[in-house]
Structure formats: structure tokens, C-alpha cells
Amino acid sequence: MEFMGYVRPDGKAGARNLTAVIPSVTCANDVAQAICRQVQGTVAYLHHQGCCQLPPDLERVTDTLISIGKSPNVANVLVVSLGCEGTDYERMVKEISETGKRVEIIRIQALGGVSKSIQAGTDLARRLVIEASGLQRTSCGISQVIMSIKCGASDTTSGIASNCVIGYVADRLVDLGATVVFGETTEFIGGEHLLARRAVTTEVGNQILKIVEQMETRAKSLGCDMRKGQPTPGNIEGGLSSIEEKSLGAIMKSGSRPIQGVLDYPQAITTEKGLWIKDTPGREPEILTGMACTGAQVMMFSTGRGAPQGFPSMPVIKICGNPNTYARMEEDMDINAGLILTGDKTIEQVGEESIQKMLKVLSGEMTKNEAIQYFSAIDIHTLGPVI
């Protein structure tokens, strides 16, 4: 099984060939956005972090932005810095450059302000996209694939239809020597014992239990019932009565293969194969960023109530398990898993269809959210306060 990808200088295979315009701090967002409006082939990451945070969070934001730049879907990078931020923009340039990619930086304060920076950044971005656009796709093996998985705007169809489809795809990919990453630690609560049992070692199993305990402690920190936060009002309207029920449905998408280990939020995959967990919250803007950090070229995203969003440099394939939602929101959904509950298709049939779709998307076919650029609401998950 193969796909047509872009081979990067570090040997990784990309499904997209984008110039990443990365604000090193939220205060540089408008300049990054203005450059991207002007130059085709660029994407901006309009996050809200990078200053007036405690040192571990500043390091986490720096590491996250580095991992995004290192992703094989990114051809080259323009870092947009303000100049006085708390993140380490010099380390961003240095570490992304280690992949062999070209990395440029503009500094808004040093260049004399916003309009001069937009001009300088536009000229640099133009050179970067022209350089990237000359690359050709070549045949790449399926073992090069890192697939991330996620469910959002879930209802009870997710755990019975669309998450089972993703579980089927995850098992197939692991068996073919590829890498699969799932997360949403909050949505392990109530099902963590089942995941811990699938860990390759006792240590990994204990680590799974530990990240769930940490997430639950955070959820309880305000002294209230977490319901409405998790499950969300939409989940509850969709029939999910408790976090336990939501979690047991959510973990269906991890399939059945052994869990190799737990990755930190900003961590990139280097040579790891098989099924991995990334410690993330469930909310889309933060988890999609965390998953893009792994270097995932593609995401499979299951939904019941209809979550339309994607990510700037990681195509997101939407699989809808609710036949009523699919009928209403077909324009935002890539795969109809609602046919499982109507009795028209099996999980295996929709699973095979999803694998074929994934190979096409990896080779360049756009997903529905990608085609309309519905992917600007991104963020980075931090742990401490803004101070």
C-alpha cells in the first residue's frame, strides 16, 4: 500500500507542501495572517500563547511551534516574531532548520513595525512558496504514515459506528507497520483500566493511569461537577449521560492493538511505530495542534453531531456516524458511517472505504474542511496561568 508524498530532507514523507507562517507569540498573529492572505501556499497558526506565562509553559509553546515546523506536511517556514516575547524564537529557527528545511524569520519591532514587517514577510514567503512549488510527489510506503485520530461533537452513534470505523482503520495501519496516535485524556476517564490493560509494559500502563488522574484532578480543581464541561451540552443532548459513557465510546477509535507509550503534548514522532497515546485535552483547537506536532500527515475525525473544523497543515477527514447529521451536514462530512446504523453497510465496509479515502487525501485530494479553509481556530494547550 502506497501514497504519493513529498520526501523531505530528513527522509520523512509529507502529504502537503505548505509554507508554514508561525507567529512565535499571539501578538504577531495579525502580521502572519496578512502575509498569508497575500501569498498562496502559506498557512498561519493563529494561537493565543507565547508571553506572560510561567517558564514551563513558555518552553511548551516553543516546543509545540518547533514540532509544527518540523512536520513533513510543511516544506519550509517563516517565523514571525514580535521581539519581546517569552518564547524562544531563536531556538525555533535553529531546531526546525535541523530537519534541513529552509527557515526564515522576521522581527516586527526590529523591522520598524507592522506594515514594514508585512512587506518583508510577504517577499520572503513568496520566495519560500516558489521554492516549495517546484517539488514533485513520489511514491511513499504506508509505513511512513502517521495517522492521528480524534472524535468531536460526539453522540451515542460515535461509540457504536464512526469510532469503530476508525478503530478498524487504526488496527489495519498498525498491522501494516504505520504509526497511529490517539489522545483526549479527559475522554479516557471511566475507560482507563481498559487502555492500561493494552499497554506493552506495566510502566506504560501506570503512565496511562497517571495522565488520567492528573487530568481528572485538573477537572475537579474548581470544586464542581465537570458535566457541561465534559460531556458538553451537545454530547448530553446527543444521549451521552456521563463522562464514563463518552469515554467508553471514545476509546473504540483506538482499535485493539497494544499501546506502545505516552507522548508529551509537544512531542514529535521520530521513529516510533504502532499505536501511541498523546496526552491532550479533548477540545479541538488544542488537540489538533498536539496531533499535528506528532508529525501526523493526516487525521481521521469521528463526529456524531457535526464538527466541521480542520487544521492548517494536517488534512482532517470527517467520519459521521449519525445518519440524521450526515443528511443535514453532508457538505462538511467526508465519510458516511451513518449507513452502519441504518443497516446498509458494515463497519468493515466503511473502514475499507475510509482507508481508500485516506490514501487519496495523503496523495493530495483535499478534505471538505481543507477546501474551504475552515481551520483557523487553533490553539496550544498550556498548564499554568496567564500572568
Partner 1 sequence: MELKLALKVNDLDNVATLFANAVRDGDEVEIRDKKGGRDHVKVRGDVPYGHKIATRDIHVGEDIVKYGEEIGIATHEIARGDYVHVHNLDSKRGRGDWKEGR
CB of 183 to partner 1, least distance (A): 17
H-helix or E-strand containing 320? strand 316-320
Contact indicator for 101, 74 with CB cutoff of 8 Å: yes
Q: Does 330 bind partner 1 (CB under 8 A)?
A: no
Residue given cell 495572517 in the structure block: 33
Q: Judging by beta carbons within 10 Å of its beta carbon (0-12, 13-18, 19+), is residue 385 exposed, middle or buried?
A: exposed
Instruction: Decide if residue 160 touches partner 1 (CB under 8 A).
Output: yes
Single out the segment in contact with partner 1 by CB under 8 A; choices: 47-55, 109-117, 184-192, 256-264: 184-192
Q: 294 and 271 in contact (C-beta within 8 Å)?
A: no
User: Could you say whether residue 227 binds partner 1 (CB under 8 A)?
Assistant: yes
User: Smallest gap, in angstroms, from Cβ of residue 248 to partner 1?
Assistant: 4
Please count the other Cβ atoms lying within 10 Å of the Cβ belonging to residue 291.
28
- Residue with the three cell numbers 507592522: 114
Least gap, CB of 103 to partner 1 (angstroms): 42
Q: Is 324 in the site for partner 1 (CB under 8 A)?
A: yes
CB of 219 to partner 1, least distance (A): 5
| Nearest alpha-carbon partner for 249 in 319, 190, 174, 312 | 190
- Pick from 142, 209, 341, 366 the residue near partner 1 by CB under 8 A: 341
What cell does 185 get?
485524556
As given in the structure block, the three cell numbers for residue 133 are 512549488
Tell me which amino acid residue 189 is.
I
Q: Between residue 233 and residue 262, which ones bind partner 1 under the rule CB under 8 A?
A: 236-239, 241-245, 248-249
Q: How far apart are CA 260 and CA 250, in angstroms?
A: 19
Give the residue, chosen from 52, 114, 200, 224, that forms a contact with partner 1 under the rule CB under 8 A. Answer: 224
Residues 222, 271, 356, 387: which binds partner 1 (CB under 8 A)? 222
352 binds partner 1 (CB under 8 A): no
Nearest to 20 by CA among 75, 66, 62: 75
- Find the shortest distance in angstroms from Cβ 151 to partner 1: 14
- Least distance (Å) between residue 155 CB and partner 1: 5
Rounded to a whole number of angstroms, the minimum distance from the CB of residue 326 to partner 1 is 13
Residue 217 burial by Cβ neighbours in a 10 Å radius (0-12, 13-18, 19+): exposed
Contacting residue, 183, 304, 315, 351, with partner 1 by CB under 8 A: 304
SS3 222: coil
Does 230 interact with partner 1 (rule: CB under 8 A)? yes
Using CB under 8 A as the criterion, which residues of the chain lie in contact with partner 1 when the complex forms? 155-157, 159-160, 189-191, 194, 216, 219-227, 230, 236-239, 241-245, 248-249, 304, 322, 324, 341
